[in-house]
Amino acid sequence: MVVLWIVALLSVLAISSAQSTRSETVGTRNLLELAQVRAAADAAVIRGIFGLYQDLLQQTSLTSPIRPGSGRPRPWRFHGAAITLTAMSESGKVDLNTGNEQILHGLFRAAGADEQQALHLRDELLDYKDRDDNPRSFGAERRDYLQAGLGNGPANAPFMRIEELLLLPSMTGDLYERLAGAITVYSRQPGVDPAVAPDLMIRSLPWLAPSVAERYLEARRLAWQQNQLPPVDMLGNATPLLRPGLSQVYSIRAEATLGTAHFTREAVVYLIGSPDLPFAVLAWREP
């Protein structure tokens, strides 16, 4: 009986050891795949940066058929990893610091805010970055933040990151997620470039009928397919808010998958254009 008990105990120990070894092997393989997929995503971003740089060198005027950074996803493979690479010009987004107030209000509405919430967000955004402590009609200053339990109040300084928008009292997480792809702190211009603007940005333009926005988006998609310049004149009443231009700031997103591992890298780069310093990285993050 003693021998049988010893054999049974050794069997249990052997099975436990085998399971532990298998778990460690799986864990090691997962860590290896994650490291590989992170490296692949980073490599894709660097490839995207130099691709943009080469594209920009060939774009000498606003009449060029397609400007870099239109946001169209491009597939790529790198050392076995499947990657979707997207580059978007920041000039197609509305700048939280310099953007036209009507564009910002329209963007909040297009992203799903009702009129009252959109008015509050617009004024809270303006109060957040101005230097005074006087709230606008629908805005919020230090006292309002304290009453809502939101810290010490607004920054009273320009937005440094788009994530600061989450600090506004009327902002929600879901609304921010819908807005994130159409806002920036890097364009430093009041208007937007419709040729590379996100669809949501076009739909949010003031004085533009929804049917006109949809016709423009369809015409822009066809123009891209045919390597032609999008027909900006279709936007009619919204033209005063538009700022077509050759941007030097781009956001790049690489989504990489290898086996069961998935990783996304986002970067914002400024294309300087100097042979000695072709670009500068303004942001490097995991979303």
Supply the pLDDT for residue 230: 80
In the prediction, which pLDDT does 150 show?
A: 84
**Alpha-carbon span 124 to 118, nearest angstrom:** 10
Domain check: are 144 and 78 in the same one?
no
Q: Is 261 a member of any domain? A: yes
Q: Could you tell me the residue range of the domain that residue 221 belongs to?
A: 200-240
CATH of the domain at 157: 1.10.40.60
- Does 126 fall in a domain? yes
Per-residue pLDDT reduced to its tens digit, 57-114: 665 444 444 456 677 788 989 888 999 999 888 999 999 999 999 999 999 999 999 9
- Whether 11 shows a pLDDT value over 90: the answer reads no
Task: Decide if pLDDT at 125 tops 80.
Answer: yes
**How high does pLDDT run on average in the chain?**
85
Residue 223 falls within a domain, yes or no? yes
Instruction: Pick the more confident residue, 260 or 13.
Output: 260
Same domain, 78 and 130: no
pLDDT of 223-239, one tens digit each? 888 877 788 888 888 88
Region 244-273: mean pLDDT is: 88
Tell me phi and psi for residue 89, to 5 degrees: -70, 135
Domain count, the chain: 3
Give the bridge partners for 263, in sequence order: 256
Assigned domain for 194 exists: no
- Is 52 within the bounds of a domain? yes
- Assess if residue 181 is contained within a domain: no
Has residue 13 got a pLDDT over 70? no
